[in-house]
Amino acid sequence: MKIEFKRLIIKDHLDYFYDLYLTNREFFRRIAPDLRKEDILNIEAISQGNFYIIYDEETPLGLSFLCRIDNSGLSCHLGFLLDKDFQDKQVAEGSKLAFYIARDFIKYIFRNTHLRKVSMCFLKTRTDIENSLTKGGFHKEAEFKDSVYFDGKFQDEIEYAIFKDKFITLYGEIS
């Protein structure tokens, strides 16, 4: 498997973005109301994020995005939306591919930007993610009480981060 990341301009890839949304609609309904195709154009402007399509050779696997980019602290927040079919397959096979995708994308960020820290947030109930990030060298930065509306209720969220120098120590050069 060869994972690649290509910068996504939402207005130029609107059909792909909307198809990904439709495929994963049940997940999105847990966090937001239904979106119309024209609503998606606002996501890029509102989030002020940088979106990337994740590919395995020519097959799109989902999206990754950088947001909350802080040029004074040289940090950003990283998020993913992997296609539901891909996620289901990974869970069924017990694969840790999502972790490897995250690792490769962080390497891509550190190699191609001036940033020195990457953070990720997830629901406190997702101990599997917490364990993977801890094993991957991330450290806990914060815990937010009732900060995310998901599945019809507010839930706690945890933020983990990794610094560039620690990432290089663990995973080698980023070139």
What are the tens digits of pLDDT across the range 52-101? 777 777 777 777 777 788 888 899 888 777 777 777 776 666 567 777 77
CA distances from 78 to 65, 161, 166, 175 (A): 6, 10, 17, 20
Domains in the chain: ranges and CATH: 3-171 (3.40.630.30)
The residues near 96 (Cβ < 8 Å, ≥ 6 apart) are: 132
What are the tens digits of pLDDT across the range 108-147? 889 888 999 999 988 888 887 888 888 889 999 999 999 8
99, 132 in Cβ contact below 8 A? yes
